Amino acid sequence: MNPKIKKINAEYAKNAAKIDELQARQKELIRQRTELENNDILELVHSHNLGITQLAALLRTMKDTPVSGVQGESEDDTHDEI
């Protein structure tokens, strides 16, 4: 076999292994982030002594009553056109 092909195949295998490792790490980071976000939400709910029915009612109210400036708009999102 051509030595250049062997070299490319070896580099390809090495890169594939790195990609697999990075994808696994990325999945773990996503899992950890989700867990921490969920813990923050639970702490917030518990700090306000909300029961499940109260939380459901609050979420329905929030869904039905949009708050200005919250739905995807922030100061960083507004750019002046030149």
3-state secondary structure the chain: CCHHHHHHHHHHHHHHHHHHHHHHHHHHHHHHHHHHHHHHHHHHHHHCCCCHHHHHHHHHHHHHCCCCCCCCCCHHHCCCCC
The predicted pLDDT at position 70 comes to 57
pLDDT recorded at residue 67: 74
Q: Residue 69's pLDDT band (boundaries 50, 70, 90)?
A: low
The mean-pLDDT minimum among 12-21, 25-34, 68-77 falls in 68-77
Q: Quick one: pLDDT at residue 1?
A: 81
